[in-house]
Amino acid sequence: MITIANLVKRFGRTEILKGISFEVRKGEVHSIIGPSGGGKSTFLRCINGLEPFQGGEIRVGDRVLTPATGARSDARLLEGVRRQVGFVFQQFNLFPHLTVLENVIEAPIQVLKLKRSDAIGRAERLLARVGLEAKHRAYPRDLSGGQQQRVAIARALVMEPAAILFDEPTSALDPVMAGEILSLMENLAKDGQTMIVVTHSMGFARNVASQVHVFADGYDVESGPPSTVFGDPRHATTKSFLSQIAKD
Amino acid sequence: MRHRLFSSLAGCILAGLVLPCTASADALADIRKTGKMLWGGDQEGGGPYVFPIESNPSQVTGFEVDFANRIGEYLKVKAEFTQGQWDKMPDMLRTEKIHAIINGYELTRERAEIMDATIPYYVYALQLMGRRDNPRIDSWASLRKSAGWARVKIGVLNGSAAEAYARTYCGGLCDVVSYDGNTDTMREVETGKLDATIEDTPIASFYAPRFGALRRIEKPVQRGYYVIYVKKGETALLQALNEAIVLMVRNGDLERIYRRYGIWDEQQAELAGIAGSGRFYGYFRATDVKVERNQMPTEESVRVDTRKRGWQIVRDYSGILIQSAGMTVVLSCISFPLAILVGLMIAIGRLYGRSWLRLPLTAYVEFLRGTPVMLQLYFIFFFLPEIGVKVPAFWTAILGLAINYSAYESEIYRAGLQAIPKGQMEAALSLGMSRVLALRRIIVPQAVRIVIPPVVNDFIALFKDTSVCSVVTIVELTKRFSVLSMSTQATVELMGMTAMLYLAMSYPMSIASRRIEKRLGLEQQA
């Protein structure tokens, strides 16, 4: 479904990603953990084409992104990839000038060309699923952070993407709200939603993910099923990262 | 010394003969074909030249109107007055917006170099005027005496022959103050802010009844000539006009016209001599034509001895002022939406467009912001015709204002667009939107809300900036105010009415914008 081969990303002369490869199959949940500055978010942003990269390739379905892919010259290709791969941001990024319902139906109407009534049908189902059926007409600023993130998840889901990328979705939330979001994501995982989740929540990585990746210094230093990574860490970075986390 | 006058007419005749003909277009043929002679003047100059009729201020009267109409009769065409800024008349002539200038234009060497002059139709001189109750100013010589007091203050019309003369005469012994209106100085003398003024004799004679507190001091000095100017090289038209003037001198037409306005004086005797020597021009045939005596009254009939005040001014002139305010509204309301549209496009181009677009767009903004709108209008109206692009005055004004304001609006929108967090574009793109769609549906609607206050602010500023359009012959509210204030001297009343009208235009805008802000504000992020 998503195949990343030898991905290299540089900002100027600083190498952020130093050759990362992995594969995500349908229905899998991949969790990326690791110390800050390890390139986790950048990696995620490369997958849906928000960041260009300098080496390797990314294959999403039958679409291929390469270092030659340009934001303008390959706009169609990128739009195609993004329709396959949803994205949930740490800062939610809801559209402040639109109501909750309008936030969710905007892309289905404008991008998928759904009829408004169909888009509203889809949106209502999803808003009910994330527990916001009473907030259709509210504006984002009237919602708590947790509620905003739930709208953002509904907004991603409404496009029925093959996979969803979560970029630290709970980092801007207090623990209670974070818990709500994580259990919502767990439900999605149970329903077979393919996901890549960059997270600091070890609970989620341990209990929900089918694969865990530890990113450090631009490398995928250690990956495997959570039981292996957490139970029997091999790499020095993983060990120190996990012990650091345990102290908190 | 912009207005060094010729000491004798011979010089002018010589100059007229020596200077080569450059233009090839035949204005006279054009006049005959269209049946219209367009002559330029500025009604802001006031009486007795060209000024609004009291009972119908949208129409003009004045000795030059009568004079031009009579010339039209001789040429068997209709003489049509064309409003323009007084100092821009030569440009209007050059770009063929008018056929002739008839507006108290003195014969000067500088002007004769760029335009062709007819023989004079009026002999003017400079009249010194002071207050009746001020014995201190009783002669030209008294101007130079300060005698323990402050130096004498003399008011003159900016750029006039009187100004040049006053500066030379004073030579540092008195203060010369320049004014933009003909009668401003007379009012200032009346109120005591000035000690004396120097006016062209027609103005002094015509307005004498209205300024009862003023008196004429000594005989007029420094004789000069009002002439008609035509485009360089228009010999046929020049000849026809000269013939008409000679006729009008001989058959008494000019005398009758000038008597109507009370400006016929002994100096005009010189006109007969000039018409006689006019044989040098080769239009002696005209002198043989028999002309029937016309039926014009011989006594003064156009008089301005009463000055209207207060409510009478409001009653008589509010109609024409409101009508002119309409022009202001029309100019603003057509040009501003264009400015917004172009400005938004430029801002988007600079922020999101391809890299090669950015330099020219930045240059566009910097150039238009960095140069006065007046020059831009001037360029469109007076330069583009040179390269074959003729834009009518109204559309020149619309275009000029729209282009100028688009530069300012683009900067406002650029700031507005930049204030939208980067995450908004990323979120939109991540949903599969194209950049254009994301701009249209997500980014621009948010930016527009942010910039409402500064944009409305500019719109209100534009209402007032439309007044620069008078350089391209548009008469809007401010110009109308100037014109009426020059001819009625009721400046305070007219100023109040004009201010109220501007306020009536801009205040509803402020209210509307506050409403819109309030409504949209609900949707803004806290």
As for the ipTM of the complex, it is 0.95
Q: Does domain B125-221 have CATH number 1.10.3720.10?
A: no
Q: Which residues pair with A174 in a beta bridge?
A: none
Asked if residue A30 has pLDDT above 70, the reply is yes
Q: Please report the sign of the dihedral spanned by the C-alpha atoms of residue B323, residue B325, residue B329, residue B335.
A: positive
Q: Which residues pair with B127 in a beta bridge?
A: B199
> How many CB contacts within 8 angstroms connect chain A with chain B?
74
Closest partner CB to A89 (pick from B423, B435, B437): B423
Asked if residue A88 has pLDDT above 50, the reply is yes
Asked if residue A24 has pLDDT above 50, the reply is yes
Whether residue A210 lies inside any domain: the answer is yes
Note the pLDDT tens digit of each residue in A97-116: 999 999 999 999 999 999 99
With a pLDDT cut of 90, the percent of chain A lying above it is: 78
Residue B22 is predicted with a pLDDT of 38
What gap in Å lies between CA B519 and CA B516, rounded to an integer? 5
Residue B497 is predicted with a pLDDT of 92
Domain parsing of chain B, residue ranges = 9-121+227-288, 125-221, 310-521
Q: Is this model's pTM higher than 0.90 or not?
A: no
Q: Report the CATH number that the domain containing residue A33 is assigned in CATH.
A: 3.40.50.300
Whether residue A115 lies inside any domain: the answer is no
**Which residues on chain A are in Cβ contact (under 8 Å) with B424?**
93, 95
Whether residue A181 lies inside any domain: the answer is yes
Residue B1 is predicted with a pLDDT of 29
Nearest C-alpha in A relative to B444: A97
CATH of segment(s) B9-121+227-288: 3.40.190.10
Say whether B426 and A89 touch across the interface (CB within 8 A).
yes
Residue B304 is predicted with a pLDDT of 61
CA B313 to chain centre: 23
Alpha helices by DSSP H, listed for B40-131, are 63-75, 89-94, 109-114
Whether residue A52 lies inside any domain: the answer is yes
Residue B318: burial class (beta carbons within 10 Å; 0-12, 13-18, 19+):
middle
Note the pLDDT tens digit of each residue in B292-321: 555 555 555 666 656 677 787 888 888 889
What gap in Å lies between CA A219 and CA A238, rounded to an integer? 12
Whether residue A102 lies inside any domain: the answer is no
Q: Please report the sign of the dihedral spanned by the C-alpha atoms of residue A55, residue A60, residue A64, residue A67.
A: negative
Q: Do β-strands A2-11 and A85-88 pair in parallel, antiparallel, or remain unpaired?
A: unpaired
Q: What is the mean pLDDT of chain A?
A: 92
Say whether B437 and A86 touch across the interface (CB within 8 A).
no
Q: Which of B80, B74, B84 is nearest to B382 (CA)?
A: B84
Instruction: List, as ranges, residues 12-51 from A with C-beta within 8 Å of B.
Output: 48-50
Residue A62: burial class (beta carbons within 10 Å; 0-12, 13-18, 19+):
exposed
Helix (H, G, I), strand (E, B) or coil at B262: coil
Whether residue A27 lies inside any domain: the answer is yes
Residue B23 is predicted with a pLDDT of 40
Nearest C-alpha in B relative to A161: B431
Length of chain B: 526
- A contact test, residue of B431, B448, B450 with most A CBs within 10 A: B431
- Domain that includes residue A76, residue range: 2-93+153-247
**Which residues on chain A are in Cβ contact (under 8 Å) with B433?**
79, 107, 110-111
Length of chain A: 248
For chain B, which ranges sit under pLDDT 70? 1-25, 147-149, 277-307, 521-526
Nearest C-alpha in A relative to B433: A111
Q: Is A122 on the interface with B (CB under 8 A)?
A: no
Say whether A107 and B432 touch across the interface (CB within 8 A).
yes
Residue B87 is predicted with a pLDDT of 84
Q: Which of B83, B79, B81 is nearest to B31 (CA)?
A: B79
Whether residue A144 lies inside any domain: the answer is no
Residue B46 is predicted with a pLDDT of 80
HEC profile for chain A?
CEEEEEEEEEECCEEEEEEEEEEECCCCEEEEECCCCCCHHHHHHHHCCCCCCCEEEEEECCEEECCCCCCCCCHHHHHHHHHHEEEECCCCCCCCCCCHHHHHHHHHHHCCCCCHHHHHHHHHHHHHHCCCHHHCCCCHHHCCHHHHHHHHHHHHHCCCCCEEEEECCCCCCCHHHHHHHHHHHHHHHHCCCEEEEECCCHHHHHHCCCEEEEEECCEEEEEECHHHHHHCCCCHHHHHHHHHHHHC
Domains held by chain A: number: 1
Residue B299 is predicted with a pLDDT of 58
**Which residues on chain A are in Cβ contact (under 8 Å) with B525?**
96, 140-141
Q: Is the peptide bond before A35 cis (omega within 30 degrees of 0)?
A: no
Residue B333 is predicted with a pLDDT of 93
**Alpha-carbon dihedral B167, B172, B178, B184, rounded to 10 degrees:** -100
Residue B278 is predicted with a pLDDT of 55
- For B149, phi and psi rounded to 5 degrees? -85, 180
**Which residues on chain B are in Cβ contact (under 8 Å) with A155?**
431
Say whether B441 and A159 touch across the interface (CB within 8 A).
no
**Which residues on chain A are in Cβ contact (under 8 Å) with B432?**
79, 82-83, 107, 111-112, 159
Nearest C-alpha in A relative to B520: A97
Q: Which of B316, B305, B246 is nearest to B277 (CA)?
A: B246
Domains B9-121+227-288 and B310-521 share a fold: no
Q: Which fold has domain B310-521?
A: MetI-like fold (1.10.3720)
Closest partner CB to A50 (pick from B426, B433, B446): B426
Q: Which of A130, A81, A68 is nearest to A103 (CA)?
A: A130
Chain B nearest-CA distance from A201, in A, is: 23
Q: Is A169 on the interface with B (CB under 8 A)?
A: no
Written as six digits, the tokens of A130 are 């994330």
